[in-house]
Amino acid sequence: NEELWVQSVLEMPKRRDILAIVLIVLPWTLLITVWHQSTIAPLLAVHKDDGGDSRRDLAAGLDSKEYCLSERDIVEVVRTEYVYTRPPPWSDTLPTIHVITPTYSRPVQKAELTRLANTLLHVPNLHWILVEDSQRRTPLITRLLRDTGLNYTHLNVETPRNYKLRGDMRDPRIPRGTMQRNLALRWLRETFNRNNSQPGIVYFADDDNTYSLELFEEMRSTRKVSVWPVAFVGGLRYEAPKVNAAGKVYGWKTVFDPHRPFAIDMAGFAVNLRLILQRSQAYFKLRGVKGGYQESSLLRELVTLNDLEPKAANCTKILVWHTRTEKPVLVNEGKKGFTDPNVEI
């Protein structure tokens, strides 16, 4: 009896029934799924990975209308809209940009990471290494990362607290973000083989700065360490490396301690992954680092001044801004102005 029952159960869904169901249901399921998602993401069209293309497209296809509305001139710029998947499809030929972002919990954290993610989602072959300053990986960040669709790695390490002060204060002798950046460097060294020729670039991106898309394309060609100007640091409109006629960095255009070995902000340089893997003991110094010397503590283990590669049109363009949640201090511009006013920030 049992055998008959089993046999009849097996025979019940006949092959042609299954085939019919699949052929009818599957296309409708696909259609409904696709139509439902169409409001969420833009259409895929041709997407060039050269960030400059959008400007060239505009120059060629610009269609501008001018007409007056009472006293106001109105210029309407009509551009061909280009849309793409989010993030762009992975390319086999582009070096991966590993973006290391330390982050900590505070009211604006989610907002900062949201708008940073919205920028990163434009960049092809980007790997976001987000390192929380926390005891455990938090649900907020876990969810946020998953929902962005980015290629990411989620790490955490807690900066020790200073128990002499109020319970929640971190140890002020360790600059914020240091342990988190170092953890990411260690992760890279444990994950990637020194002999493996997967090309990559490492960039330290704090979660409250502002990054143009052009910046990521500039850093992609880094052979050892590349550098560029950063706006709103050192009490200036911007700080920049000094570049001579031969295209070599020979100094630093800063007011605050220009004689630092590398008078540059964390956002102003990128390092080739190969170099990170080769100099496997190079880390940011944890303690005893004078203000403004953090970057030097890592870079002097990696490269000399002469080896630096200037980007951003020989360090004359601003592609990254050290935005913060307060008004930029411009006291070092002095009465006559220190930076070149023709450089737009």
Is 29 one of the annotated binding-site residues? Answer: no
Q: Is residue 194 a contact point for other proteins (CB under 8 A)?
A: no
Task: From residue 105, give the alpha-carbon distance in Å to each of 113, 134, 140, 243.
Answer: 11, 8, 10, 39
Is 222 one of the annotated binding-site residues? Answer: no
Q: Is residue 290 a contact point for other proteins (CB under 8 A)?
A: no
Q: Is residue 86 a contact point for other proteins (CB under 8 A)?
A: yes
Q: Which of 205, 173, 187, 190 is nearest to 103 (CA)?
A: 205
If you ran DSSP here, which 8-state letter would residue 161 be given?
Answer: B
Angle at which helix 139-148 crosses helix 109-120, to 10 degrees, equals: 20
Rounded CA separation 282/275 (Å): 10
218 part of the active site: no
Is 160 one of the annotated binding-site residues? Answer: no
Among 216, 262, 321, 338, binds other proteins (CB under 8 A): 321
Q: Is residue 205 a contact point for other proteins (CB under 8 A)?
A: no
Rounded CA separation 337/237 (Å): 10
Among 7, 29, 142, 278, binds other proteins (CB under 8 A): 142
Is 322 one of the annotated binding-site residues? Answer: yes
Residues between 149 and 188 that touch other proteins (CB under 8 A):
149-155, 187
Query: If you write DSSP's letter for every residue of 32-91 in order, what string do you get?
Result: HHHHHHTTTSPPP----S-TTHHHHHHHHH-EEEEEEETTEEEEEEE-------SSPPP-
Is 181 one of the annotated binding-site residues? Answer: yes
Nearer to other proteins, 238 or 252 (CB): 238
CB of 317 to other proteins, least distance (A): 12
- Extract the tokens encoding 221: 């060609």
Among 19, 21, 146, 290, binds other proteins (CB under 8 A): 146
CB of 149 to other proteins, least distance (A): 4
Counting every residue written for the chain, the total comes to 345
Annotated binding site for UDP-alpha-D-glucuronate: 102-104, 133, 176, 181, 206-208, 322-324
